[in-house]
Amino acid sequence: MQATAYTYDADTRSGSVLLDDGTPIPFDTPAFDAGGLRLLRPGQRVRIETEGEGEALRITLVTLQTL
Protein backbone atom coordinates (compact mmCIF):
# COMPACT_ATOMS: atom_id res chain seq x y z
CA MET A 1 0.00 0.00 0.00
CA GLN A 2 1.21 3.53 -0.68
CA ALA A 3 0.93 6.59 1.55
CA THR A 4 2.51 9.99 2.13
CA ALA A 5 4.71 10.74 5.14
CA TYR A 6 2.86 13.22 7.34
CA THR A 7 4.83 13.50 10.59
CA TYR A 8 8.13 12.06 11.79
CA ASP A 9 10.00 12.38 15.09
CA ALA A 10 13.68 11.53 14.66
CA ASP A 11 14.16 11.04 18.41
CA THR A 12 11.52 8.31 18.70
CA ARG A 13 11.65 7.18 15.03
CA SER A 14 7.85 7.21 14.93
CA GLY A 15 5.25 9.34 13.20
CA SER A 16 2.29 9.07 10.89
CA VAL A 17 1.36 8.74 7.24
CA LEU A 18 -1.65 9.86 5.24
CA LEU A 19 -3.41 7.33 3.07
CA ASP A 20 -4.51 8.53 -0.36
CA ASP A 21 -8.00 9.18 1.03
CA GLY A 22 -6.52 11.52 3.67
CA THR A 23 -6.79 9.10 6.59
CA PRO A 24 -3.87 9.50 9.02
CA ILE A 25 -2.33 6.33 10.44
CA PRO A 26 0.43 6.39 13.08
CA PHE A 27 3.49 4.15 12.93
CA ASP A 28 5.77 3.16 15.78
CA THR A 29 9.52 2.64 16.09
CA PRO A 30 9.53 -1.07 15.13
CA ALA A 31 7.63 -0.31 11.89
CA PHE A 32 10.11 2.42 10.98
CA ASP A 33 13.14 0.30 11.88
CA ALA A 34 11.80 -2.64 9.82
CA GLY A 35 12.11 -0.53 6.67
CA GLY A 36 15.79 0.25 7.18
CA LEU A 37 15.31 4.01 6.76
CA ARG A 38 17.41 6.62 8.53
CA LEU A 39 15.15 9.64 8.06
CA LEU A 40 11.72 10.49 6.75
CA ARG A 41 10.55 13.88 5.51
CA PRO A 42 6.92 14.98 5.40
CA GLY A 43 5.61 14.73 1.86
CA GLN A 44 7.70 11.73 0.84
CA ARG A 45 5.82 8.88 -0.80
CA VAL A 46 6.25 5.69 1.17
CA ARG A 47 5.24 2.07 0.91
CA ILE A 48 3.63 0.61 4.00
CA GLU A 49 2.60 -2.83 5.11
CA THR A 50 -0.26 -3.15 7.57
CA GLU A 51 -2.12 -5.70 9.61
CA GLY A 52 -5.56 -5.63 11.15
CA GLU A 53 -8.59 -3.65 10.05
CA GLY A 54 -10.57 -0.60 11.11
CA GLU A 55 -9.54 0.72 14.52
CA ALA A 56 -7.08 -2.19 14.89
CA LEU A 57 -5.18 -1.28 11.70
CA ARG A 58 -1.50 -0.83 12.40
CA ILE A 59 1.57 -0.27 10.24
CA THR A 60 4.22 -2.98 10.41
CA LEU A 61 6.68 -1.56 7.82
CA VAL A 62 7.51 1.86 6.39
CA THR A 63 9.92 2.16 3.47
CA LEU A 64 10.42 4.50 0.53
CA GLN A 65 8.28 4.01 -2.54
CA THR A 66 10.40 2.90 -5.48
CA LEU A 67 9.40 2.39 -9.08
For the stretch 5-58, pLDDT in tens is 999 999 999 999 999 999 999 999 999 999 999 999 999 999 999 999 988 999
pLDDT digits (tens, 9 = 90+) for 33-48: 999 999 999 999 999 9
Tell me the whole-structure pTM to 2 decimals.
Answer: 0.90
Distances (CA, A) of 66 to 1, 18, 48, 52, 55: 12, 18, 12, 25, 28
Dihedral sign (CA 18, 28, 65, 9): positive
